[in-house]
């Protein structure tokens, strides 16, 4: 049955059937063709998968990110970042990375970060003479921070799939996110200095005090979210609701840039995005249920630990496998199906669940910036008005930087485990 499910799924992927439908159809082929289970198992397993309180945080964080975009908060974050780093050569490139890092601490989604920050910064960078391929590649890669720095939607999915503490996963993502942001920022600045780009980036920057004053409500938002979670006041789900209310109040009544039409459009966009993610979670869980009945997780974990008998070799093998999988399968679906299997294998050689979760999320995030299914690439290309082909040369450099950071995160557990061990509860 396992071979039939996997083969059917790959064939459906190859003919461009949407991911959630491919997974669902492949699962039903396995269910009806190779088992005697009743059809009621399909809605039952999908319902069980979605009937989890932490998953409610996903649509709310998506909505909060969309409300920030239409409410002027994302533009003020750009102004804030530019006021501090815009005066140096390559300052707009540095602003791109820094703003994505700040926005990631609110949205939890890399695609939302790409659109919210990209619509402001990509035209500005093109206006100041940056090559379009470089601009789009930097934007897509920087937005990847949206799924690493908390709150992170993939980390919520990993926590739900493996019964791992979501607050500890959030803490584990902070230092890796900062490390990747720092590496991308340094790479962009050196590149701009070598190629002579961005010499006029300081033109039009706001004074720092003015930028802080204009961005104060946006800067307080991540403090409110993460402070509530780690202060023991709110759960991640409750914090996501507070983020929505905060973004709505600021956009409508403080900045007064959000109209009621904008509000309705943000809700509509968030509903569509959330429905797609939830559909993927439901169908991927159905597949996971069928594979589990066949003993695939235990067999796979046993094979991995027998074949790669040490943490170093196992981590290298899993990283290589996840890198390839991330290029073809959506991050949420990969986590729901693979996380329980791979975490079991990692636990057998002494790799902590929180550490492994961070590695898995960072690795699969690379799939968002690698063809053929790199969603960030298509989002950035759409905003920049270029093709993905034009992005490939600079993209290879940025992907290489992230891969080097991934190897450090994989083999230096302290990078992800220091904060959970100090602050975690």
The answer to whether the pTM exceeds 0.85 is no
Q: Write the pLDDT tens digit of every residue in 276-286.
A: 878 877 887 78
Residue 149: half-sphere exposure toward Cβ, Cα within 13 Å: 28
- Mean pLDDT over all residues of the chain? 86
Task: Answer yes or no: is pLDDT of 397 > 90.
Answer: yes
What pLDDT does residue 337 have? 80
Closest CA to 179 of 370, 424, 346, 418: 418
- C-beta neighbour count of 85 within 10 angstroms: 22
**Bigger pLDDT: 392 or 108?**
392
What pLDDT does residue 103 have? 83
Model confidence at 424, pLDDT cuts 50, 70, 90, reads low
Task: Answer yes or no: is pLDDT of 47 > 60.
Answer: yes
Note whether 188 and 81 are within 8 A (CB): no
C-alpha 201/C-alpha 250 separation (Å) is 29
Residues above pLDDT 70, as percent of the chain: 98
**Bigger pLDDT: 411 or 303?**
411
Joined tokens for residue 85: 């780093």
Peptide bond into 325 cis (omega under 30): no
Q: What's the angle, vertex CA 171, arms to CA 117 and CA 184, rounded to 5?
A: 40
Q: Write the pLDDT tens digit of every residue in 84-140.
A: 888 889 999 999 999 888 888 777 778 778 887 888 888 888 988 899 999 999 999
C-alpha 252/C-alpha 141 separation (Å) is 31
Closest CA to 314 of 327, 301, 326: 301
What pLDDT does residue 132 have? 93
Model confidence at 9, pLDDT cuts 50, 70, 90, reads confident
What pLDDT does residue 297 have? 65
**Bigger pLDDT: 78 or 394?**
394
Residue 283 Cα to chain centre, angstroms: 20
Q: φ, ψ for residue 145 (rounded to 5)?
A: -60, -20
C-alpha 211/C-alpha 205 separation (Å) is 9
- C-beta neighbour count of 422 within 10 angstroms: 8
Task: Answer yes or no: is pLDDT of 307 > 90.
Answer: no
Note whether 198 and 111 are within 8 A (CB): no
Closest CA to 169 of 145, 149, 183, 144: 149
**Bigger pLDDT: 265 or 105?**
265
C-alpha 88/C-alpha 94 separation (Å) is 9
Give the per-residue SS3 of the chain: CHHHHHHHHHHHHHCCCCHHHHHHHHHHHHHHHHCCCCCCHHHHHHHHHHCCHHHHHHHHHHHHHHHHHHCCHHHHHHHHHHHHHCCCCCHHHHHHHHHHHHHHHHHCCHHHHHHHHHHHHHHHHHHCCCCHHHHHHHHHHHHHHHHCCCCCHHHHHHHHHHCCCHHHHHHHHHHHHHHHHHHHHHHHHHHHHHHCCCCCCCCCCCCHHHHHHHHHHHHHHHHHHHHHHHCCCCCHHHHHHHHHHHHHHHHHHHCCCCCHHHHHHHHHHHHHHHHHHHHHHHHHHHHHHHHHHCCHHHHHHHHHHHHCCCHHHHHHHHHHHHHHHHHHCCHHHHHHHHHHHHHHHHHHCCCCHHHHHHHHHHHHHHHHHCCCCCHHHHHHHHHHCCCHHHHHHHHHHHHHHHHHHHHHHHHCCHHHHHHHHHHCC
Joined tokens for residue 123: 């035209």
Q: Write the pLDDT tens digit of every residue in 332-384.
A: 878 888 888 888 888 888 899 999 999 999 999 888 888 766 778 888 888 88
Q: Write the pLDDT tens digit of every residue in 202-241.
A: 877 889 899 999 989 988 888 888 888 777 788 888 888 9
**Bigger pLDDT: 397 or 107?**
397
Q: Write the pLDDT tens digit of every residue in 402-414.
A: 999 999 999 999 9
Q: Write the pLDDT tens digit of every residue in 165-207.
A: 999 999 999 999 999 999 999 999 999 999 999 888 887 788 9
Could you tell me the CA-to-CA distances from 232 to 136, 225, 227, 235, 334 in Å, in that order? Answer: 39, 11, 8, 8, 31
Task: Answer yes or no: is pLDDT of 386 > 90.
Answer: no
Task: Answer yes or no: is pLDDT of 305 > 80.
Answer: no
DSSP 424: -
C-alpha 160/C-alpha 350 separation (Å) is 21
C-alpha 29/C-alpha 57 separation (Å) is 32
Task: Answer yes or no: is pLDDT of 16 > 90.
Answer: no
């Amino acid at each position: 049955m396992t071979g039939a499910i996997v083969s059917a799924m790959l064939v459906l992927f190859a003919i461009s059937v949407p991911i959630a439908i491919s997974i669902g159809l492949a699962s039903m082929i396995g269910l009806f063709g190779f088992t005697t289970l009743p059809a009621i198992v399909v809605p039952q397993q999908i319902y069980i998968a979605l009937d989890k309180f932490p998953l409610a945080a996903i649509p709310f964080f998506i909505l909060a990110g969309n409300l920030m975009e239409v409410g002027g908060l994302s533009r003020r974050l750009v102004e804030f970042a530019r006021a501090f780093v815009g005066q140096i050569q390559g300052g707009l490139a540095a602003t791109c990375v820094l703003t994505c890092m700040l926005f990631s601490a609110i949205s939890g989604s890399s695609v939302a970060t790409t659109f919210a920050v990209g619509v402001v910064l990509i035209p500005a960078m093109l206006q100041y003479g940056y090559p379009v391929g470089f601009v789009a590649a930097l934007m897509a890669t920087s937005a990847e921070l949206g799924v690493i720095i908390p709150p992170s939607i993939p980390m919520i999915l990993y926590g739900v799939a493996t019964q791992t503490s979501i607050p500890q996963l959030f803490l584990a993502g902070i230092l890796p996110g900062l490390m990747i942001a720092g590496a991308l920022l340094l790479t962009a600045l050196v590149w701009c200095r070598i190629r002579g780009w961005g010499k006029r980036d300081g033109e039009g920057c706001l004074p720092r005090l003015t930028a802080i004053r204009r961005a104060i409500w946006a800067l307080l938002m991540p403090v409110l979210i993460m402070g509530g979670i780690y202060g023991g006041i709110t759960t991640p789900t409750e914090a996501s609701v507070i983020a929505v209310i905060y973004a709505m109040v600021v956009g409508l009544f403080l900045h007064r840039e959000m109209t009621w039409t904008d509000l309705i459009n943000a809700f509509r966009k968030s509903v569509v995005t959330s429905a797609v993610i939830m559909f993927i979670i439901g169908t991927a869980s159905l597949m996971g249920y069928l594979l589990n009945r066949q003993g695939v997780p235990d067999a796979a974990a046993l094979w991995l630990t027998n074949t790669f008998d040490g943490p170093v070799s196992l981590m290298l093998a899993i990283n290589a496998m996840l890198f390839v999988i991330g290029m073809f399968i959506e991050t949420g679906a990969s986590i729901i199906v693979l996380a329980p299997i791979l975490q079991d294998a990692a636990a057998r050689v002494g790799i902590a669940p929180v550490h492994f979760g961070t590695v898995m999320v960072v690795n699969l995030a690379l799939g968002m910036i690698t063809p053929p299914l790199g969603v960030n690439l298509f989002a950035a290309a759409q905003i920049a008005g270029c093709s993905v082909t034009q992005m490939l040369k600079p993209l290879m450099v940025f992907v290489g930087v992230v891969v080097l950071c991934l190897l450090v995160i994989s083999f230096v557990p302290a990078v992800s485990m220091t904060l959970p061990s100090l602050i975690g509860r």
